[in-house]
Structure 1
Amino acid sequence: MGSKGTIIVTGANGGLGSAIVQNILGTPDLASNYTGVYAVRKVATAAQLQAALSRAPSNHKHEAVDLDLGSVEDVRKVATDINAKVAKGELPKIRALILNAGYQDHTDIVISKDGFEMSWQVNFLSNLILALLLLQSMDEQEGRILVIGSWAHNIDDKRNDVMTAYKDPRYTTLYPGVDALAKGEWSRPEEDPTTNSGFRRYGASKLCVIMLEELANRIAKDPKLSNISLIDLDPGGMPTGIARRGGFLLSFVVMKLVLPTVANVSVWMSPNGMLRTARKSAADVIRACFELEAHRGEALHLDGSATGLEIAKEAKDEAKRKEVWEYGLKAAHIEEGDTVLVDWK
């Protein structure tokens, strides 16, 4: 029996990413009927992914690929390679493009070789590139593009009240302008040496992710691509490696000792509460891609398994969305012929 489609998962070696892979492998229909393409920064050192794949069913077709999301050139190359394989019939059409990979700094700031703040580049720009370039290889009837959101994108979300990052009167918005975000000129460590500076930049990058509503709107008007759904899903706070740059207390004590137990209890009491397990959020991702009825015409905003997530007011601003879109196109060097989306300019 031929494969029903390809499932691409970025960040497949991380806490949520490896849990998504495990969910795929543990679901007979997905494992046996779909081809997996699992993207990580470096396959050779992707221990969690390798451990998961070592237990893969013998009939699960898959490949692991190196993908440096901090490099525009590398992201474009990987997308081009995947498109070539689909065109040759070496890979089936993409049924689910799960843009899971994430990056967060804390007290430091990293600028990529492309000149962009790393949270913005990894969390937003690389996702934009992959989505635009891989549209030509998507299943035009049932394809789903899923991006990982976060309540951190919405400065008015009450869940942010447990932290102090958004209480500083110097930062009353997460959108000081896309150029400032992209170049790392806002919420810098020298302005605020605490972990709050990095958290704000992370939240701002996720705001740009939610602004991919612009992509959903353009897909909806496309004569060939309008059946493709775009979904953003807030997975909640999870004990993963996203905080590995946050120092010993946060990265080890909180994330590895305290949060795993608390998250298990939290999910039992409130499945879509602030804290969740990676296993639960991975199941929500797979459900959104394969079980929910297709949501076309606009982006579907999910809070775990719950619908109706309230997005930030900036994400609803059409002018700001267009500004981020146009800036992203230039940063990604998108030119005529790079994407099959008709209305991309």
Structure 2
Amino acid sequence: MSHTIITTGATRGFGRVAAERVLDGSPEAHLVLLARGTAGTELASDLSRKGYSVTSIPTDLLALGSVRDAADEVAARLDSGELPRLRKLVGNAGALFTNDMTQSRDGFEATFAVNVLANHVLIRRLQERFEAASRIVITVSDAHFGDFRHNKGMMPGPSWTDPTELARISAFPRPETVTAGGIAYSTSKLAAIHLIHEYARRLPSEVDIVGYNPGFVPGTGLTREAGALVRLAMRTIMPLTTLTPLASTQQEAGRRLADVVLGLTPAQSGSYVDRTSEVPSSAQSYDPDRERRLWAVVEDLTRPFTS
């Protein structure tokens, strides 16, 4: 039966792989790409030539007004019948900066804005449009564990503080450093998992939400805002890690994300899928008091864009 799938982060990397695999597995679906610049239009044209139903809506995830407008355009098209019923939302876009001093258009710390606030605006603006048996998938990261076993020293662990501080620049020591940027990233992914738990409690029972961890995937667009040396290492050195168990290829990560979206990987609402199976997230990620506090702050920060 025809339905709509909305996705961010589908124009490059494993998100691009996942988009086509989702359409292969659900050929009756209409895919809506939310992407910055012309990338979404180009991908929509490419996929349409292959016989898929695809629409692109220009969206800047660093500007919550743009996210709101994109969600409202989707809602209007759903209400008019231009788009079939909404069944899936994939929040795959992510950002990693080499400092903790980069601001979004709205004055939020940029990593937190993309990895947490943008997804929240999309979900809150569209939550009443989801039909029964719907699924939301948010790409998270094992960086939220903050230990050597999961990160192999490649990413500093999260450092939780009050969410009102996490949403602003310079929340961590030496905010101008790469280390502070890494802490902002891993902390934002911990925040995303906290919110997934809270969404699972608050969304209608027929709408489930799952966090998907692809593992380390070299060569994605995640570090596009990073410095030249970091981007060079990600393009030339880090891909060699896919020959080891430390990393996944883009094809592997994309296929696994598509399996979660399509429901081929069993996962309960509020759960954490590590590559191919549901597993517990970190011990610190289960904290109902922290989750309720985070929810209240995020609701307050995004109210101009969700009301």
Structure 2 counterpart of 1:306, one-letter code: S
Match of 1:37 in 2: 32
1:306 to 260, 270, 277: 277
Q: CA deviation at 1:164?
A: 6.8
Matched, 1:10 2:13: no
* 1:246 is the counterpart of 2:218: no
**Any unmatched runs of 5+ in structure 2?**
none
How far apart are residue 58 of structure 1 and its match? 4.6
Superposition deviation, residue 67 in structure 1:
0.7
1:138 shift after superposition: 1.3
- Cα offset, 1:52, TM superposition: 7.4
* Residues 155, 312 of structure 1: 8 Å contact kept: no
Mapping 1:81-230, distance limit 5 Å: 81-107=73-99, 109-140=101-132, 142-156=133-147, 158-163=149-154, 165-166=156-157, 174-187=159-172, 191=174, 193-212=176-195, 213-219=197-203, 225-230=204-209
Measured after TM superposition, the shift of residue 289 of structure 1 is 1.7
Note the C-alpha offset of 1:194: 3.5
Q: Which amino acid is the alignment partner of residue 115 of structure 1?
A: G
For residues 139 and 97 of structure 1, the distance between their equivalents in structure 2, rounded to whole angstroms, comes to 12
Matched-pair identity in %: 26
Amino acid at match of 1:215: Y
**In 2, distance between residues paired with 1:164 and 1:80?**
36
Distance 1:226 1:186, change over 3 A: same
What is the alpha-carbon distance in structure 2 between the residues aligned to residue 311 and residue 186 of structure 1? Answer: 22
The residue type equivalent to 2:241 in the other structure is V
**Given residue 158 of structure 1, which amino acid in structure 2 is its aligned partner?**
R
Stretches of 4+ aligned residues off by more than 4 angstroms: 55-58, 293-296
Distance 1:156 1:19 in 2: 29
> Which residue number corresponds to residue 222 of structure 1?
none
CA contact (8 A) 2:14 2:254 kept: yes
Q: Is the CA contact 1:195–1:246 (under 8 Å) kept in the aligned structure 2? A: no
Look up the equivalent residue of 1:277 and give its one-letter code: T
Amino acid at match of 2:2: K
- Do 1:153 and 1:174's aligned partners in 2 also have CA atoms closer than 8 Å? no
Distance 1:114 1:312, change over 3 A: farther
CA contact (8 A) 2:156 2:186 kept: no
**Structure 1 pair 249/149, CA: closer, same or farther in 2 (3 Å)?**
same
Amino acid aligned to 2:34: A
Aligned to 1:234: 213
For residues 261 and 17 of structure 1, do their structure 2 counterparts lie closer, same or farther at Cα, with a shift above 3 Å needed? same
Alpha-carbon deviations, 1:291-330, whole Å to 9, x = none? 337655x4021001022143241x2111110111001111
Contact 2:100 2:171 in 1 (8 A): no
**Structure-1-length-normalised TM-score:** 0.81
Give the alignment's Cα RMSD to 1 decimal: 2.3
What letter matches 2:239 in structure 1? P
Cα distance change of structure 1 residues 94 and 236 upon mapping to structure 2, 3 Å threshold: same
In structure 2, the residue matched to 1:280 is: 252
User: 1:51–1:64: structure 2 CA closer, same or farther, 3 Å change rule?
Assistant: closer
TM-score with structure 2 setting the length:
0.91
Letter in 2 for 1:16: F
Moved more, 325-334 or 304-313: 304-313
Per the TM alignment, residue 41 of structure 1 is displaced from its structure 2 partner at its CA by 1.2
Structure 1: tracts of 5 or more residues without a match: 167-172, 220-224, 339-345
- CA distance in 2: counterparts of 1:228 and 1:107, whole angstroms: 36
Asked if the contact 1:155–1:174 (Cα under 8 Å) also holds between the matched residues in 2, the reply is no
SS in 2 for 1:90: coil
**1:66 maps to what in 2?**
58
- Check the 8 A contact 1:10/1:98 in 2, yes or no: yes
Larger Rg: 1
Letter of the 2:57 counterpart = V
The equivalent residue for 1:341 is none
Aligned positions, number? 305
Taking the aligned partners of 2:235 and 2:170, their CA distance within structure 1 comes to 32
